[in-house]
């Protein structure tokens, strides 16, 4: 028998607000949790992302929470990421307005001013990330001693991000008689610790599997050349429309987004290095359809809920099977369908084969229906992935052939001069500038290969700590070629330098000055 929100003991204004949003039938997790939460019981809920957990804990919270005093909220919701905290506030705000309850979302990356003002005005419910909340507690802007209802959302993600010590510290500051609701996609040992320490005989409700159901989407693995990945990504976005593209690093996100825009693809990007306002603007552009692609690191793999994502593209392979599942779970949500496409380069084949076995996709892999007309990428089937990466299919060379531009430019160095350039104080020496977008490894390589500046003309470079035998036994190094004039600072041809530090110059008859710097131009 199908129930409705009107069947629960919710305030009539809350039910009307839900009806106005066209939400009338609760999801399975909502139908299971809401009655127990309204009775004041502790709840342990296990449900995958996108199952409706926000309303499951949010509706009872708004129905039961009391009035707050300035800087002393009555209810607390902890979320692992900024995006999730803001999304919880956005989902609950229409109901909160209807029942006359005040919400504030507290997270880093934005100014504290508006958050502090909301707390001083008396926020009934605080939705916060642990770090910013602790900062405001340390500053005396908020006290949790009157919090009698607490929610921990995505507790497994909290554990993955190392927030459990902060979560425990925060819960210890709340009221002793507290209702605690904990939600997680998995109930591993870390979550069990929170349950044991901070919940009292919780009712348990489990809906769905531990992870997003990846059987509701199609999975494709496509063999590509590195030089053709961006063009193939543009084709995937053109074919599917709303697409989330996952890259391994922030630098990769910036680069891929920039290159896609050059190809005419409307794209936005999110990673941990962007400010919260930039991340909010990018997500809003993707949700509104102004951007067809959202390029992101794994910061968007969990906790961001966007409806009607047609495709998830693994531009770079995920770190492990768990990340693959959560990335892929951004599509095929709420009963809809979706595609998951993974790019595979020759050196990644073995890793992809292992990942397939871990997630159980060996029998579900399909070939790409068409190759990119821009990149020349070659489709790969499940059988093809089992072959050696060096196999030669359809006359295509299995090795990547570098383009003419790449052959002229060293890998990892951009815009470096291939010929000598004259600089002040150096004749024929070659100096190179550090690439603007070099990575840390590139910077280390560049630093170790730099040529030292030669000494200025007229200075003698000697190493007084070196014995005469050492100097005679080693080849003298100089940053300048020898000259015939016998100028100071230049070795004379055909005669080794004297080991006597008080040697005299033939031309002047005076002792030669010693250079205490030494180093032979290094």
Which residues 6+ apart lie within 8 Å of 189 measured at CB? none
Average pLDDT of span 344-371: 73
**Final residue of a domain: which of 353, 385, 417?**
385
Whole-number pLDDT of residue 515: 53
Judged against a pLDDT cut of 50, whether residue 382 lies above it is answered with: no
Cβ(56)–Cβ(48) below 8 Å? no
For residue 293, name the pLDDT band (cuts at 50, 70, 90).
very high
Judged against a pLDDT cut of 80, whether residue 70 lies above it is answered with: yes
CA–CA separation, 131 and 173 (whole Å) = 15
CA–CA separation, 251 and 268 (whole Å) = 14
In a domain, 52, yes or no: yes
Which runs of consecutive H residues, i.e. helices, occur in 265-365?
276-288, 321-328, 349-359
In a domain, 69, yes or no: yes
Position with higher pLDDT, 416 vs 36: 36
Judged against a pLDDT cut of 50, whether residue 44 lies above it is answered with: yes
CA–CA separation, 191 and 159 (whole Å) = 8
CA–CA separation, 100 and 67 (whole Å) = 10
Whole-number pLDDT of residue 512: 58
Average pLDDT of span 340-359: 88
Ranked by mean pLDDT, which of 1-5, 148-152, 501-505 comes out on top? 148-152
SS3 content of the chain, % helix, strand, coil (to 5): 35, 15, 50
Whole-number pLDDT of residue 390: 33
**Measured between alpha carbons, how far apart are the two ends of the chain, in Å?**
84
How much is the pTM? 0.57
User: 167 with 104, same domain?
Assistant: yes
- What CATH number is given to the structural domain containing 123? 3.40.50.300
Nearest to 279 by CA among 250, 313, 318: 250
CA–CA separation, 213 and 84 (whole Å) = 21
Rounded to whole angstroms, the maximal C-alpha distance in the chain is: 113
User: 139 with 233, same domain?
Assistant: no
Whole-number pLDDT of residue 323: 85
In a domain, 504, yes or no: no
pLDDT in tens, 204-238: 998 865 566 677 788 888 888 888 999 999 999 99
For residue 188, give the DSSP letter: -
CA–CA separation, 28 and 47 (whole Å) = 10
Nearest to 352 by CA among 248, 211, 210, 223: 223
Q: Is the dihedral of CA 193, 197, 201, 206 positive or negative?
A: negative
Residue 215 tokens read as: 């059987």
Q: Considering only 40-44, 346-350, 383-387, 468-472, which range has the smallest mean pLDDT?
A: 383-387
Q: Measured between alpha carbons, how far is residue 280 from residues 284, 313, 327 in Å?
A: 6, 21, 19
Look-up of token digits 């504290």: 112
For residue 299, give the DSSP letter: G
Nearest to 344 by CA among 372, 376, 374, 316: 316
Q: Considering only 222-236, 274-288, 449-463, which range has the smallest mean pLDDT?
A: 449-463
CA–CA separation, 199 and 180 (whole Å) = 6
User: 196 with 230, same domain?
Assistant: no
Whole-number pLDDT of residue 373: 52
User: 128 with 194, same domain?
Assistant: yes
User: 153 with 230, same domain?
Assistant: no
Residue 471 tokens read as: 């100097």
- Hey, is 257 helix, strand or coil? helix
In a domain, 180, yes or no: yes
* Angle of CA points 73, 77, 81, to nearest 5°: 130
Domain total for the chain? 2
Nearest to 198 by CA among 154, 164, 158, 163: 164
User: 133 with 230, same domain?
Assistant: no
In a domain, 115, yes or no: yes
Cβ(233)–Cβ(256) below 8 Å? yes
Number of other residues whose CB lies within 10 A of the CB of residue 317:
19
User: 159 with 238, same domain?
Assistant: no
**Final residue of a domain: which of 181, 206, 231?**
206
**Residues 159, 162, 164, 166: what is their CA dihedral angle, to the nearest 10 degrees?**
-150
In a domain, 420, yes or no: no
User: 251 with 183, same domain?
Assistant: no
Number of other residues whose CB lies within 10 A of the CB of residue 225:
20
CA–CA separation, 79 and 114 (whole Å) = 19
Q: Considering only 5-9, 228-232, 412-416, which range has the smallest mean pLDDT?
A: 412-416
In a domain, 501, yes or no: no
CA–CA separation, 196 and 416 (whole Å) = 60
Whole-number pLDDT of residue 160: 79
Residue 520 tokens read as: 């032979």
Judged against a pLDDT cut of 60, whether residue 416 lies above it is answered with: no
Owning domain of residue 39? 5-206
**Final residue of a domain: which of 206, 241, 261?**
206
User: 342 with 231, same domain?
Assistant: yes
User: 183 with 330, same domain?
Assistant: no
User: 225 with 361, same domain?
Assistant: yes
CA–CA separation, 166 and 163 (whole Å) = 5
In a domain, 282, yes or no: yes
Mark 366-404 as b/e (b = at least 16 C-beta within 10 Å). eebeebbeebebbbbbbebbeeeeeeeeeeeeeeeeeee
* Average pLDDT for the chain: 75
User: 265 with 178, same domain?
Assistant: no
């Amino acid at each position: 028998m199908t129930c409705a929100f009107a069947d629960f003991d919710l305030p009539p204004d809350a039910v009307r607000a839900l009806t106005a949003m066209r939400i009338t039938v609760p999801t399975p997790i909502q139908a299971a949790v809401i009655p127990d939460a309204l009775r004041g019981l502790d709840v342990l809920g296990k449900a995958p992302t996108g199952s409706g957990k926000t309303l499951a804990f949010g509706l009872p919270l708004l129905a039961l929470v009391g009035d707050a005093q300035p800087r002393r909220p009555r209810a607390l919701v902890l979320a692992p990421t900024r995006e999730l905290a803001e999304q919880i506030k956005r989902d609950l705000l229409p109901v909160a307005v209807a029942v006359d309850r005040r919400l504030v979302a507290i997270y880093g990356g934005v100014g504290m001013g508006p958050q502090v003002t909301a707390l001083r005005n008396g926020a009934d419910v605080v939705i916060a990330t642990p770090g910013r909340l602790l900062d405001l507690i340390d500053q005396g802007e908020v006290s949790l001693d009157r919090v009698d209802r607490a929610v921990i959302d995505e507790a497994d993600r909290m554990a993955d991000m190392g927030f459990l010590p902060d979560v425990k510290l925060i819960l210890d500051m709340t009221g002793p008689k507290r209702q605690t609701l904990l939600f997680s996609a998995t109930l591993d040992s870390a979550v069990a610790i929170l349950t044991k320490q901070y919940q009292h005989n919780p009712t348990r409700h489990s809906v769905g599997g531990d992870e997003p159901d990846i059987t509701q989407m199609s999975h494709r693995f496509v063999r590509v050349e590195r030089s053709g990945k961006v063009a193939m990504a543009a084709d995937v976005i053109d074919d599917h429309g709303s697409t989330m593209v996952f890259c391994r690093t922030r630098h990769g996100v910036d680069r891929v987004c920039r290159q896609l825009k050059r190809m005419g693809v409307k794209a936005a990007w999110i990673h941990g290095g962007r400010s919260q306002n930039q991340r909010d603007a990018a997500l809003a552009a993707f949700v509104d359809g102004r951007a067809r692609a959202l390029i992101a690191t794994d910061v968007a793999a969990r906790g961001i809920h966007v409806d009607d994502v047609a495709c998830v593209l693994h531009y770079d392979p995920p770190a492990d099977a768990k990340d693959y599942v959560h990335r892929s779970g951004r599509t095929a949500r709420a009963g809809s369908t979706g595609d998951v496409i993974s790019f595979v380069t020759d050196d990644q084949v073995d890793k992809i084969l292992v990942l397939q076995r871990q997630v159980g996709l060996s029998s579900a892999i399909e070939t790409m229906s068409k190759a990119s007309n821009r990149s020349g990428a070659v489709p790969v089937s499940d059988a093809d992935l089992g072959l050696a990466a060096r196999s030669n299919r359809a006359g295509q060379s299995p090795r990547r052939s570098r383009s003419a531009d790449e052959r002229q430019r060293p890998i990892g160095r951009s815009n470096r001069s291939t010929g000598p350039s004259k600089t002040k104080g150096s004749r024929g020496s070659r100096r190179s500038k550090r690439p603007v977008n070099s990575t840390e490894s590139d910077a280390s390589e560049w630093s170790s290969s730099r040529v030292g500046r030669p000494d200025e003309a007229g200075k003698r470079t000697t190493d007084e700590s070196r014995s005469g035998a050492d100097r005679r036994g080693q080849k003298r190094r100089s940053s300048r070629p020898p000259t015939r004039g016998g100028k100071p600072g230049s070795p004379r041809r055909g005669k080794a330098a004297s080991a006597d530090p008080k040697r005299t110059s033939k031309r002047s008859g005076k002792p030669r000055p010693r250079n205490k710097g030494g180093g032979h131009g290094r």
